[in-house]
Amino acid sequence: MLTNNNKFTVDVVHMVFTIFSFMQASQQSTHSPFSIRHSLSSPFILLFLIVFISGTSKSEELETDVLEDQWPVFAAQLSDDILAHCQSNKCHMNVIDANTLVSLMSEHDLALDLKEALALSEYEVLISSAVLFSSYPSLSKDTLEQEASSILRLEITTSWRGIPIDDFNIEQSISGQDYSAEQTNALTNTAFIMLSQWIDRAKEEDILAAEKIYAQLGASNYFEQLKLPERIGDFVKFEQGLYHDPMQGSITRYVHPDYEDAIVDISVYPVSPFVHREKSLEDSVTNEMLIEKSQIQALIEHANIKDFMISDIQTTKLNLGNRQLPALAMEVALETSIDPVYSTQFLFTQHDKFVKLTGNLPKSMMLALVQDSLSDIEVPDESEFMRAMRQK
């Protein structure tokens, strides 16, 4: 999985060499037990220059934000089966409110790691609760053998943008004694034990990994279907990561064995029918690069950077066997007190996806690397998810 063992240094050269698309990978601390194959933000480098000017690392900003933001945890309605059961059996429904749920989860040793992982994308945890006073068919044999007269049931659904990606139902006797409305401590103590089991399971089964979202939606399986070279010139494949949004796809990093700050990234992501609505594939490439250029210009303006160069978007032909592949290229140069520093990106399409190669080299040097890699790049076909999106 993608990690950043030493959080991004506030150094101009390193910031320019470090692609903005890996910014969010640095935000997850390396000791976290939850997956960090999370949403790597919109690709390019120059936001780090804003970080340099402000003197604040992006990792520090995230840590503050995570602590201040609310947990995306909500009390929810019970399942239809439990509601039906409670119509003919004694139950206390919705016995734990959202504030209590958050308070209990916050007591777990992994609470901050879980909160960070939830904050990295648009997750929600929906938890319904009920105290059952008679046996329910789904209760486990072990639970029933405890011969408790009151059972706490929690139904926990983890969703992404309203799409369920994991369900976990759990029951347990309430501290081995009868339950009454006054037994708040017995109820919350039992709930804490059950929520702790869910948190441990979330870690063990990696339910917040981006792959879970892709599998649930029927999006491309980049880890299995994307074929990329192991080397590009002297650059060696380092690691591959996924954005938590399937519309943003995959990013793979290559590093140089002799120059630790030298980086080449390959990003592969579907052509969005929403951003590039009713455009031909050729027009979509142009539109995508215009969006990139506009974002870079806005970042430079916001950072009040004066000494820079952004090239025009240039049309080029890449040699692929006995044919030529049309592509677009753009180069950014920033003047420093030592030497200019560069970032160049090439953009083209394969199947229904954009392929973008970005590196900290002048265009002429980056072109050689793009040509070297081209024959070894094979992207997944259109996924069921994207086919459905394009039919809307």
Percent residues over pLDDT 90 in the chain: 59
For residues 371, 376, 377, 379, the Cα torsion angle rounded to the nearest 10 degrees is 160
Residue 227 clears pLDDT 50, i.e. is over it? yes
Which is more confidently placed, 96 or 281? 96
Mean predicted confidence (pLDDT) in 123-139: 81
Mean predicted confidence (pLDDT) in 138-151: 55
Residue 24 clears pLDDT 70, i.e. is over it? no
pLDDT, one tens digit per residue, over 153-195 is: 999 999 999 999 999 999 998 864 555 555 678 899 999 999 9
- What confidence score (pLDDT) does residue 47 get? 31
Q: Which helix (H) or strand (E) holds 116?
A: helix 111-119
Mean predicted confidence (pLDDT) in 318-341: 87
pLDDT band at 101 (very low <50, low <70, confident <90, very high): very high
Which residue is associated with the tokens 């160049």? 344
pLDDT, one tens digit per residue, over 342-354 is: 889 999 999 999 9
Residue 161 backbone zone (phi > 0: left; psi -120 to 50: alpha; other: beta): left
Maximum C-alpha span of the chain: 79
Please calculate the CA angle 135-137-139 and round it to the nearest 5 degrees. 70
pLDDT band at 277 (very low <50, low <70, confident <90, very high): confident
pLDDT, one tens digit per residue, over 287-305 is: 999 999 998 888 888 878 7
- Whole-model pTM? 0.78
What is the rounded distance in angstroms from the CA atom of residue 252 to the CA atom of residue 376? 14
